[in-house]
Amino acid sequence: MRLSRYFLPILKETPKEAEIVSHRLMLRAGMIRQQAAGIYSFLPLGLKVLDKVSNIIREEQNRSGAIEILMPTIQSADLWRESGRYDAYGKEMLRIEDRHERELLYGPTNEEMVTDIFRSYVRSYKDLPLNLYHIQWKFRDEVRPRFGVMRSREFLMKDAYSFDLDFDRAQTAYHRMFVAYLRTFARCGLKAIPMRADTGPIGGNLSHEFIILASTGESEVFCHRDYLAMNEPGEDVDFANADQLAGIVKDWTTPYAATDEMHDEAVWNAVPEEERVSARGIEVGHIFYFGTKYSEAMGAVVAGPDGNNVPVHMGSYGIGPSRLIAAAIEASHDENGIIWPKALAPFDVGLINMKPGDADCDAACERLYAEMQAKGIDVLYDDQDTRAGAKFASMDLIGLPTQVIVGPRGAKVGEVEIKDRASGARDTISIDQVVARISA
């Protein structure tokens, strides 16, 4: 993409309303724009990252056997009356009346609707296990929305719902999502640590939050140092193998890890002091087994092997892609801007023409631009006639992993500078070597 034909509205000023670094950087880098309190547009650069996150989530959901659907944003109040949550949900639910005075709402989550879909079609245990997910906009009318897309009112969520015949099978479904989440965050370039979460009145041990460590995180977390060195499961995980899944979950839940809420000082003190990591974290995913809570209330039953109807055991599994972007920036930035993990970067490479109009610079840039595109390298080419200093600052701000800098003296002798955004390391190399170096 040529910058002259793109829409990348970089802000020079730091917006005053932004309290946290990811919000500031996303506004300054032209990724998002606030349209109303807690409601944002994704501008081109922000949307590219949102799509990358969503696609990684989608691929890992599919790999685990979950099936994608798409439920609407607007729901009927009647459905929520069946579960009892219409009255219970409180003011965070955006309630709507249509022209016929029918009560609707903007879905804050989809347990009721997906249970309704399930009960409409599925009759037999033979059609289980089933896990349906969608990636759709939700609305929660936070009393004081802030922190940009980290805590917006309209936000994108991937929510999956599993349906199983009994607790044991539901537990395997839970493990499947647990492992899919480990892979998802790892592929996003993020270290996420599963931490036991409060299960409320349902009890049991089947609720985990996935927490990214970031010095600017919203809450205090405590974990064993072992987590930092653990490797996430590879592509060869067998999602049909319940024992293998249970083993992975066991490995990832044995060392101590807890949010402030669930922290147990006694157990923590038993961890050797040098192994303790006390840090700040950001929740990026939450998985939850809730048994027959909705299936009983809403009559979602299947005939079991003995022919008798039983309510299905369910779980729900959420990741917020819009929130995840902010979390990734909180975890990876410096004083000059964002430092994207490769998998989330909106472009792979930023190509800077330091002197548009200079014949050598233009020729070198055009050649590199064409060669990179031919290799499938997604490149943002700054071909604009602006000061070199401003170009460097913008490119650091938007945080593409690699910069290729073409100046008149280098171009004349066939050389360019290549800069790694994360380390800041710069190297002068021959133009001939650029594509091979980036592809390596």
Of 158 and 208, nearer to a second copy (C-beta) is 158
- Measured from the CB of residue 90, what is the shortest distance to a second copy in angstroms? 9
Of 44 and 408, nearer to a second copy (C-beta) is 44
Contact present, 210 and 193 (Cβ < 8 Å): yes
- Measured from the CB of residue 422, what is the shortest distance to a second copy in angstroms? 27
Q: What is the pairing mode between strands 415-420 and 426-430?
A: antiparallel
Of 7 and 425, nearer to a second copy (C-beta) is 7
Contact present, 349 and 361 (Cβ < 8 Å): no
- Measured from the CB of residue 327, what is the shortest distance to a second copy in angstroms? 19
- Measured from the CB of residue 130, what is the shortest distance to a second copy in angstroms? 6
Of 152 and 184, nearer to a second copy (C-beta) is 152
- Measured from the CB of residue 153, what is the shortest distance to a second copy in angstroms? 8
- Measured from the CB of residue 65, what is the shortest distance to a second copy in angstroms? 6
- Measured from the CB of residue 36, what is the shortest distance to a second copy in angstroms? 4
- Measured from the CB of residue 20, what is the shortest distance to a second copy in angstroms? 20
Cross-strand partners of 423: none
- Measured from the CB of residue 33, what is the shortest distance to a second copy in angstroms? 6
Tokens of 258: 């807890």
Report the C-alpha dihedral over residues 54, 60, 64, 67, rounded to 10 degrees.
30
Question: What distance, in Å, lies between the first and last C-alpha atoms of the chain?
Answer: 22
Of 362 and 417, nearer to a second copy (C-beta) is 362
Residue of 286, 281, 278, 282 whose CA lies nearest to 223 = 278
Distance CA 72, CA 90 (A): 21
Of 313 and 421, nearer to a second copy (C-beta) is 313
Distance CA 49, CA 36 (A): 22
Of 132 and 301, nearer to a second copy (C-beta) is 132
Distance CA 366, CA 350 (A): 13
Using CA of residue 205, residue 178, residue 223, residue 327, what is the dihedral sign? negative
Contact present, 47 and 81 (Cβ < 8 Å): no
Tokens of 425: 């390391």
- Measured from the CB of residue 375, what is the shortest distance to a second copy in angstroms? 19
Tokens of 145: 């929305």
- Measured from the CB of residue 193, what is the shortest distance to a second copy in angstroms? 30
Residues that bind a second copy (CB under 8 A): 5-7, 9, 30, 33, 35-37, 39-44, 47, 50, 65, 67-76, 79, 91-92, 94, 96, 98-99, 102, 104, 106, 113, 116-117, 120-122, 130, 132, 137, 139, 141, 143, 153-154
Contact present, 54 and 268 (Cβ < 8 Å): no
Q: Exposed, middle or buried, 304 (CB in 10 Å: 0-12/13-18/19+)?
A: middle
Of 139 and 222, nearer to a second copy (C-beta) is 139
Of 55 and 292, nearer to a second copy (C-beta) is 55
Q: Phi-psi category of 299—alpha, beta or left, where left has phi over 0 and alpha has psi -120 to 50?
A: left
Residue of 287, 245, 17 whose CA lies nearest to 145 = 17
Alpha helices in 375-433 (DSSP H): 388-398, 408-412
Cα 172 from chain centre: 23
Please count the other Cβ atoms lying within 10 Å of the Cβ belonging to residue 138.
Answer: 21
Of 46 and 233, nearer to a second copy (C-beta) is 46
Of 39 and 363, nearer to a second copy (C-beta) is 39
